[in-house]
Amino acid sequence: MSTAYHGTFIHAVSPFQIEILPETTVVVSDAGVITHIVRGDLPAQVRELAPSPIILGNNEFFVPGFVDTHVHAPQYAYAGAGTHVPLMTWLTEYAFPAEVKMRDLDHAQDVYSKLVDRMVANGTTTALYFATIDVDPCVWFAKIVQEKGQRAFVGKVCMDRNAPPEYVETTAESLSRTEEFFAAVAALKTDLVEAVVTPRFIPTCTLELLRGLGELAKRYGARVQSHLSESRDEVAFVESLHPGEGSDSDIFAAAGLLTSKTVMAHSIYLSDNDEQLLREHGCGLAVCPISNYFFAGSTFPIRERMHKGLKCGLGTDVAGGYSPSMLQNVRALVLASRGRNHHDSTALIADYKCGFYVATRGGAAALGLEGVVGGFAVGMQFDALRIKVGGPSNPVDVFPGDDWERKFEKFVNLGDERSIKGVWVKGRQIA
């Protein structure tokens, strides 16, 4: 049995263009795939497929669900705190202790449930997650996210050096536990949750571990994620560990970890050669604007890098970024690009359309899910948000004469979870 949705649909078709489809019916199959998109009157044959469509009210529209390309699930426990220290100190003082605490599965249940509920309420339908180094809490997380129905890619974090004695593995353990985690996720028999090869970043992974993970990724045909050239202190640390061995990009490439299924977070400090390596290997980049304000000490040149053919998605980087809201991160991306332009008038500005593109279709492309999620088209999966603007306790006010484009722009700039009235993943309503 199909389901039909009738109203206005709005999505980004490029970094510069929003398409608005008013009075449109979208028919979604049982399998969650869009089978018809019809403007205006419905042909009888389509009406028979889904006789009682869900009809949107005044001031409502559908947008694609958000794709968060970088988030640390255990760090949600302290999101909104620890914003006063640089990256390497923050890892020791906040991130590692919070991740160790996930060994208490009751605590993990509490943090992970609240995080996924919060992300879904804020419209995130797909997420690429870092969990922790321990297999059991990682499997616990995969089960929670599966139950909640979000589309999720989950990494068991790997670290075999420069980590606290109570939160580090041997190289062999790191590799065998990664395989254990892959087997546990495969046993869940879900098409929405997938395991990801996840070296934390070069400072906490020996070259032997990186090479082992590169081989493993190849053998499993698996996705890969890590952090790349994130901040000045991180870049300096890698230089001191590997003098003369090149940049993060060179080291990951040599280990076989730059693939078309790789997403590298941050990627702030890139040489021309690094950009070329990332482009040639077809890697996705997770741009994390809130986090960058705190750790990177610089701004990701989003328009310039997209123009160079790099696939850029948006990431919250909870809790390096304090907010799990993709809308907050869209705004931070726009403000950061404007701030960059204040210092360099040749720097290209990203507007709200570009921000929305990166948060939806751009993220999908970075994850290799182009044509699967991130927009509305026949053959794509129905990952969608029902948006309402105006009305009591809605952060967005509307006034006579506001057209769809204005309502959409207001939602992007002012909306929050109170404006998101329904969330669908693969045709299933999960909130």
Using CB under 6 A as the criterion, which residues of the chain lie in contact with ligand GUN when the complex forms? 72, 87, 91, 95, 200-201, 227, 230, 291, 295, 317, 320
> Measured from the CB of residue 316, what is the shortest distance to ligand GUN in angstroms?
10
Between 24 and 291, CB nearer to ligand GUN: 291
Pick from 103, 106, 108, 74: nearest CA to 91: 74
Subset of 109-138 contacting Fe ion (CB under 5 A)? none
> Measured from the CB of residue 58, what is the shortest distance to ligand GUN in angstroms?
42
Between 56 and 319, CB nearer to Fe ion: 319
Q: What is the DSSP letter of 318?
A: T
Pick from 431, 420, 368, 430: nearest CA to 394: 420
Question: Is position 68 an interface residue for Fe ion (rule: CB under 5 A)?
Answer: no
Q: Which stretch binds Fe ion (CB under 5 A): 11-19, 26-34, 240-248, 309-317?
A: 309-317
Q: Quick one: what does residue 151 bind among ligand GUN, Fe ion, none, with the CB cut-off 5 to 8 Å set by partner type? A: none
Angle between helices 135-148 and 105-121 (to 10 degrees): 40
> Measured from the CB of residue 111, what is the shortest distance to ligand GUN in angstroms?
15
Between 228 and 265, CB nearer to Fe ion: 265
Q: Quick one: what does residue 230 bind among Fe ion, ligand GUN, none, with the CB cut-off 5 to 8 Å set by partner type? A: ligand GUN
CB distance 203 to 244 below 8 Å: no
Between 5 and 201, CB nearer to Fe ion: 201
Q: Quick one: what does residue 155 bind among Fe ion, ligand GUN, none, with the CB cut-off 5 to 8 Å set by partner type? A: none
Q: What is the DSSP letter of 15?
A: T
**The binder of Fe ion chosen from 317, 336, 350, 367 (CB under 5 A):** 317
Between 78 and 201, CB nearer to ligand GUN: 201
- Residues in the interface with Fe ion (CB under 5 A) total 2
Between 10 and 224, CB nearer to Fe ion: 224
> Measured from the CB of residue 320, what is the shortest distance to Fe ion in angstroms?
5
Subset of 220-279 contacting Fe ion (CB under 5 A)? 265
312 beta partners: 285
Q: Quick one: what does residue 56 bind among ligand GUN, Fe ion, none, with the CB cut-off 5 to 8 Å set by partner type? A: none
Which residues are CB-neighbours of 72 under 8 A, at least 6 positions away? 95, 129, 130, 317, 318, 319, 320
Q: Quick one: what does residue 427 bind among ligand GUN, Fe ion, none, with the CB cut-off 5 to 8 Å set by partner type? A: none
Instruction: Quote the CA–CA distance of 193 and 53 in Å, as a whole number.
Output: 29
Report the side by side order of strands in the sheet with 223-228. 66-72, 124-130, 151-158, 193-199, 223-228, 262-266, 284-287, 311-314
What are the Cα distances from residue 58, in Å, to 75, 91, 383, 408? 39, 47, 22, 13
Q: Quick one: what does residue 383 bind among Fe ion, ligand GUN, none, with the CB cut-off 5 to 8 Å set by partner type? A: none
Burial class (CB in 10 A: 0-12, 13-18, 19+), 232: middle
Chain-centroid distance, C-alpha 9: 22
Residue nearest to ligand GUN (CB): 320
Between 15 and 155, CB nearer to Fe ion: 155
Which residues are CB-neighbours of 10 under 8 A, at least 6 positions away? 18, 19, 20, 21, 61, 62, 63, 404, 408
> Measured from the CB of residue 252, what is the shortest distance to ligand GUN in angstroms?
14
What are the Cα distances from residue 278, in Å, to 162, 197, 248, 350? 26, 17, 11, 22
> Measured from the CB of residue 127, what is the shortest distance to Fe ion in angstroms?
13
Chain-centroid distance, C-alpha 228: 16
Between 10 and 205, CB nearer to Fe ion: 205
Instruction: Quote the CA–CA distance of 402 and 388 in Å, as a whole number.
Output: 14
Q: Quick one: what does residue 248 bind among ligand GUN, Fe ion, none, with the CB cut-off 5 to 8 Å set by partner type? A: none
**Cα-Cα end-to-end distance for the chain:** 21
Residue nearest to Fe ion (CB): 317
> Measured from the CB of residue 265, what is the shortest distance to ligand GUN in angstroms?
7
Chain-centroid distance, C-alpha 314: 6
Burial class (CB in 10 A: 0-12, 13-18, 19+), 252: buried
H/E run at residue 54:
strand 54-55
> Measured from the CB of residue 230, what is the shortest distance to Fe ion in angstroms?
8
> Measured from the CB of residue 320, what is the shortest distance to ligand GUN in angstroms?
3
Q: Quick one: what does residue 95 bind among ligand GUN, Fe ion, none, with the CB cut-off 5 to 8 Å set by partner type? A: ligand GUN
> Measured from the CB of residue 294, what is the shortest distance to Fe ion in angstroms?
11
> Measured from the CB of residue 223, what is the shortest distance to Fe ion in angstroms?
16
Residue ranges binding Fe ion (CB under 5 A):
265, 317
